[in-house]
Structure 1
Amino acid sequence: MNPRADTLTTAPGGRHALRMERRIGHPPERVWAALTRPELLKHWFPSEAGGREPTDVEAPRLYACTWGDDQLRWEVAPDPETGGSLLTLVHTFDDRFGAPSFGAGWHLCVSALGELLDGVAEPARPRDTGELHEAYLEQFDLGGGEITADGTVRFERQLVRPADAVWAAFTEGDEVLKGSEAPEGLVADGVLAGVVTEVRVPELVAYEVAGGGEVRIRLAPGTGYGARLLLTHRGSGDPTAARAAWHARVERLAGRLLEFSRAGWPPGPPC
């Protein structure tokens, strides 16, 4: 089924739920085995998070479990159109901005599950998933940033490359020095940047802006294989204009990071 039909919704307790449904060309009993038998799980199920603890099991229809701090709910139903199965996953988690990584990872993992049942000895795992990640980010509308109650422009975005690669792309190779003017690459169009007030390569840079404001750009640990961008711009005269300018700058950064993947930058697998 088309990943464009996958959804991200709000779950109870302020959590978030990713839902996807896929057709698997095998009967429910075989899909159930792939979901529950360790010797099959190891070929397709991701292992980065904590172990699974079952919370609701109704063979061969339902398998729900914890996964670290998250919840997974797998449902298997006969598919009358194909004679195979309809596999539905609901993944409930706290990290809304990690949803594109989860979506891309699960899409590939479930594809690997299908290949396993098709008889592929070692299901293929794509070398890079950056474009799939960015497609999910756009689909879930997570790239536009926000204006907080005090007028601060804020962006949080999961990126597809580690912090050192992001820093190189963002700064465009320029050195960032405390007390010097902020490099052009770190400044959105129309922002009147001043001097750098704080820098920790490749994690943090802060600089003054006209009118007594400040821009802070932090690269924190993220989900899977990339850094998490946390950007704030406070003190701008027109937050709406600043938000639009930073949106354009962050999109250019994301596009540059995808170019890294096409050039062979080594990513970490999401699944």
Structure 2
Amino acid sequence: MNETLHIIDGRNVLRIEHRLPHAPAKVWRALTEAPHLLAWFPAAMAIDLRVGGEIRFTMDGGDDITTGVVTHLEPPRVFAYTWSGDHLRWEVHPEPSGCLLVLVHTFDDRAGAASFASGWHVCLDALAASLDERPFVAPDDTWADHETFIARFGLAQGHVVATDHGWAVRFERQFRRPVARVWEALLAGSAAPVAVGGPPPPATTVGLAPAGAVTEFAPSSVLEYRWQHDGHPAGRVRWQISQGPGGARLQLEHTGPQALADLRPAALAAWQDHIERLAVATR
């Protein structure tokens, strides 16, 4: 498979190309007919196969139902539709040995791109197995693929923004692990239960921002503390954990005053390294 990620018209566009040794007509049926879709697509689909027709997606045993609309239909070459706020476009290009299948997935959640890419890899492997009429066993863990896409797409990097009182270094990082597991890794090494007014866990701190007292704490959700410079409060470090696609979504913000703007590059580097070590710790 070949994967690329770009920003087009302000949205993230993931493109995956996959060559299949099967006739375009056979692949087209696998893309558009409900009995074939059950073998590989991540949701059951009920399709009104016409431009403007509704699609109903059913996941989790029927408890989670979302809808979409067919936007393009050119049998047997192009099938495109919305799914909640995303857009999926499937293209079937004939080749001498079969066909080239192209998926173009357009979405807003850039931090989720690695989860989408690794998830589609599993789906497309299942599609290939179905077309080959052979059994498919989904992998128990896609952590390694996910982390490969994190690196390839540059999703581990943070950015600096200006604030009313100075600056903030921000990271948003998707993990292929449950919220509870990532939260447990953050609390690792605490000598006592974490509480407002007490020290933050060592796994939430870096050396360039000496930690003060915890100012906000909500288990499995939020941990914030003040950091100090030369013994005086300088800003805050805030960790937030929520559910993202395929696992925990981590958001980190480290704020500082304009007088300490020279610390921004070091803060970016330190927190990126810290978060990557956290990702390895959850493996």
TM over 0.5: yes
Whose strand fraction is larger, Structure 1's or Structure 2's?
2
The Cα of 1:173 is off from its aligned counterpart by: 5.0
Give matches, 1:220-231, under 5 Å: 220-224=242-246, 226-231=247-252
1:146-204, CA deviations, whole angstroms, 9 ceiling, x for partnerless residues? 11123201000111112111011122152311110112111023220000011001110
Contact 2:3–2:17 (Cα < 8 Å) also in 1: yes
1:176 paired residue number: 194
Residue pair 2:189, 2:201 contacting (<8 A) in 1 also: no
- Structure number with bigger Rg: 2
> What's the counterpart of residue 43 of structure 1?
39
> Aligned residue for 2:49?
none
Residue 175 (structure 2) aligns with: 159
Q: Partners in 1 of 2:75 and 2:22 — Cα distance?
A: 16
Q: Distance in 1 between matches of 2:17 and 2:112?
A: 19
**Aligned partners of 1:245 and 1:158: how far apart in 2?**
18
Cα distance in 2 for partners of 1:145, 1:190 equals 17
Aligned length: 250
1:212 is matched with which residue?
234
1:267 aligns with none
Distance 1:231 1:184 in 2: 15
Alignment partner, residue 106 of structure 2: 92
**8 Å CA contact 2:186, 2:201 repeated in 1:** no
For structure 2, which runs of at least 5 residues remain unmatched after alignment? 44-58, 60-64
Aligned partner of residue 235 in structure 1, secondary structure: strand
Distance 2:29 2:214 in 1: 57
Counterpart-to-counterpart distance in 1, 2:125 and 2:85: 24
Residue type matched to 1:187 in 2?
T
Q: CA deviation at 1:50?
A: 2.6
Distance 2:31 2:157 in 1: 36
* TM-aligned CA deviation for residue 11 of structure 1: 2.1
- Cα deviation, residue 222, structure 1: 0.6
Tell me the secondary structure at the aligned position of residue 7 of structure 1: strand
- In 1, the alpha carbon distance for the partners of 2:93 and 2:87 equals 20
Q: For 1:186-265, what aligned pairs fall within 5 Å after superposition?
A: 186-210=204-228, 211-224=233-246, 226-235=247-256, 237=260, 238-258=263-283
Letter in 2 for 1:21: E
Alpha-carbon deviations, 1:88-130, whole Å to 9, x = none? 0000011111100000011110111010010024x22111111
**8 Å CA contact 2:206, 2:274 repeated in 1:** yes
1:106 and 2:131 aligned: no
- State the TM-score, normalized to the length of structure 2: 0.85
Give the CA deviation at 1:75: 0.4
1-structure distance, mates of 2:189, 2:41: 38
Question: Structure 1 runs of 4+ off > 4 angstroms?
Answer: none
Q: What SS does the aligned partner of 1:245 have? A: helix
Distance (Å, rounded) in 2 between the aligned partners of 1:51 and 1:111? 25
Question: Paired residue for 2:19?
Answer: 23
C-alpha displacement at 1:51, in angstroms? 3.7
Structure 1 residue 30, shift from structure 2 partner: 0.6
Alpha-carbon separation, structure 1, partners of 2:21 and 2:121: 16
RMSD: 1.4
Aligned-partner SS, 1:196: strand
Aligned to 1:138: 151
Structure of higher RCO (CA pairs closer than 8 Å, 6+ residues apart): 1
